[in-house]
Each structure stands twice: as structure tokens, then as C-alpha cells.
Amino acid sequence: MSRAALPPFWSLVEAHGDELLVHARRMAGEANGEDVLQDALLRALRAYPRLRHAAHLRAWLYRVTTTTALDHIRARRREVLTDEPPAAVADPEHYDDAFESLIGELPDGTQAALRLRFVEDLDYERIAARLGCSPVAARQRVSTAIRTLRTQGIAA
């Protein structure tokens, strides 16, 4: 019943693909955006029939793309640091765990901002309201955190 309500997957790709690519590039760097988006959409496709409702699909795709981007960053970081095998592909149902383990090292305020942005999918107005700062500051906090993660990924 809920299955019938899910739209054909490609209609989501057509509707949101562009902005997801922008997001993937912003998260993982210009050169990695397309790889990240491909992985993210395949992950999403794997999980798609198990979704229990057809609401908030755009926000869901954003979350999957975010997690995939963070996994890419982390995998790159490992490649640089050690000979460990690349990070196992996170089960799409547990992407929050992967997300948490990645942001665990960051300052608390930064973690909160990232969670509000990428787990709760809030806009900067609402993030600002929750954190008690201005929207500009909220945006800055998130973008600084992403830059930190990305820098660790490439250079650490």
C-alpha cells in the first residue's frame, strides 16, 4: 500500500538531481561531486522500497547525499593516514550512526549545527532560532565545519 504511493525513483532524480549535485560538490569538493551523487543515488535506490512513507523524499535524498559525502571524505582520510581498507558502505538505515561517528571529534556547538542542518534538514533561519544566533552565524558555523571535515579528508 505504502509502496504504491512512492513515486517512480527517476522522477525524484529529475526533480532534485541538480540541487543534490550542488550539495554533493559543496560537501565533498568540486571534483568528487559526481562520484558522491552516483553513490548516494544508488544507496537511496537500495533503500527506496523499504521507505515507510512517501513524505519528505527531498529531505531524505539530502540526508543520504550528506552521509555519502561524509563517508567519501572519511574514506579518503583513511587512505591517506593508514592502510586500512576503505570504510565499509554504511547501511542506509544507519546513516545517522555514520554521520555521528564522523562529526564526533568536532566541538559540541558545531555538531549541533550540523545535525540541525543535515539530520533535521532545517534551513538557516530555524537553525539560528534553535542555537540562539543569527542566520548568518548559523550558516558560517555549518560551512566552517564542512570545510574542516573536507580539509581533514584531503590533508590530515
Give the shortest CB-41-to-other proteins separation in angstroms. Answer: 5
Q: Measured from the CB atom, is 65 or 152 closer to other proteins?
A: 65
Q: Which stretch binds other proteins (CB under 8 A): 13-21, 80-88, 128-136, 145-153?
A: 13-21
SS (HEC) of the chain: CHHHHCCCHHHHHHHHHHHHHHHHHHHHCHHHHHHHHHHHHHHHHHHHHHCCCCCCHHHHHHHHHHHHHHHHHHHHHHHHHCCCCCCCCCCHHHHHHHHHHHHCCCCHHHHHHHHHHHHCCCCHHHHHHHHCCCHHHHHHHHHHHHHHHHHHHHHC
Give the shortest CB-8-to-other proteins separation in angstroms. Answer: 4
Residue 4 interacts with other proteins (CB under 8 A): yes or no:
yes
Residue 25 interacts with other proteins (CB under 8 A): yes or no:
no
Residue 50 interacts with other proteins (CB under 8 A): yes or no:
no
Residue 31 interacts with other proteins (CB under 8 A): yes or no:
no
Q: Measured from the CB atom, is 31 or 155 closer to other proteins?
A: 31
* Number of residues near other proteins (by CB under 8 A): 22
Residue 14 interacts with other proteins (CB under 8 A): yes or no:
yes
